[in-house]
Amino acid sequence: MRGRRTQPGPNGAWDPIPDPAEKFSSGIPDFDRLLRGGLPRGGTALLNCDETVGPEDLDLLLFPTFLNFLYQSRGIVAVLPSRETPHGFRDRLTRFATRRRFDSRVRVIDYIGEDRGLPYVVNLADADANPIARKSATAKVIAAERQARGNRRHPILEFNAFEVFDTLMGSEKALKMFYYGLKRIRALGNLGVGVLAPGVGCAAGVRRMCDLEFAVHRDEVGLVIRGVRPSFPSHVVTPDPTHGLPRATFVPRPA
C-alpha cells in the first residue's frame, strides 16, 4: 500500500500512515517515497550525523517514525544519545503522544543511573558488577522488550545511539553487541534505527552492517539529509507547512 499524507487526528493526535507490505512507514511521506515505500521490516537504518546536528534536529527526523509506531500499538526500546535524558526525551515526545501511551510502550535503557525510579527507565548502571548483576540486567532488558511489544507481540522499534556503547564498553564490545542485536532485529521483524556521532570508534563496522545509511548535517539552508544506501540527493528537512510539527517534509536542496 502506498503511504498517504498524514492528517491531524482527533484532538491533534497523530494519525498513522499505513505500512506497505514488508516495510514500516517512516511517518514522513516524502521520506517513504525516496525509500520506495518505507523502512524494511527486520532492517536497521543508520543516521550518520556530523557535529552540527542537535537533539531538536533528530526530533524532526525521528519523531514521525516514533509516533507512527506508538499510534499503532507498537513500542520503542531506546538507548539515547549522551546529550539526552530520559525525562527530557519523554517531555518532548509527549507533546504529541499521551503520557499514558509513552509510559506503557516506551522503555529507555540507561547505563549510568540517570532518572532512577521512573517507570519507563530500565536502569543497568551496575550491569557489569558481577555475574548476578549481569543476569539481572539481561532479565530487565527482556522484560522491557516484552512491555514494549505488548500482549499481541507487535514489532518494536529499537533505537540506539552508538556513542553510548562505544564510550562505556569500547569499540570492540560495542560492535559485538550491535551484531547480536542486528540478528535479533532481523529474526523478530523489528525496526532498528541508529545514530552515529562523529569520532565513534565502531563507526566503520556499524556502517558495514546497517541496511540503510543516511548522511545528516545542518548548514545555511537548514537540516539536510542525503541517501547513502539507498542513494538519493540531498533534501532539506522542514516542518510540514500545512500541518506543522511533528509532521515533516523533504524538499530538494537548492543547487
Orientation angle between helical segments 171-188 and 162-169, nearest 10 degrees: 140
State yes or no: pLDDT of 10 exceeds 50.
no
Among 252, 249, 225, 254, which residue's Cα sits nearest to residue 30?
Answer: 249
Alpha carbon 108 to its chain centroid, in Å, reads 11
**61-96 pLDDT, tens digit each:** 999 999 999 999 999 999 999 999 999 999 999 999
Among 162, 114, 119, which residue's Cα sits nearest to residue 144?
Answer: 119
**13-34 pLDDT, tens digit each:** 799 999 999 999 999 999 999 9
Helical (H) or strand (E) element with 191: strand 191-196
- Mean pLDDT throughout 182-191? 96
Average pLDDT, the chain: 92
**Ordered domains of the chain (ranges, CATH):** 31-252 (3.40.50.300)
Q: Cα–Cα distance between 193 and 143 in angstroms, integer?
A: 20
Confirm if 60 and 223 have CB atoms less than 8 A apart.
yes
CB atoms within 10 A of CB 31: 25
* Beta pairing, strands 222-229 & 212-219: antiparallel
Confidence of residue 11 (pLDDT cuts 50, 70, 90): very low
Q: Cα–Cα distance between 166 and 114 in angstroms, integer?
A: 18
Question: Which of these ranges, 78-87, 131-140, 171-180, has the smallest mean pLDDT?
Answer: 131-140
Query: Dihedral through CA 250, CA 47, CA 184, CA 111, nearest 10?
Result: -130
Cα distances from 100 to residues 53, 73, 93, 120, 153, in angstroms, run 30, 12, 12, 11, 19
Confirm if 14 and 247 have CB atoms less than 8 A apart.
no
What is residue 129's predicted lDDT score, i.e. its pLDDT? Answer: 64
What is residue 40's predicted lDDT score, i.e. its pLDDT? Answer: 97
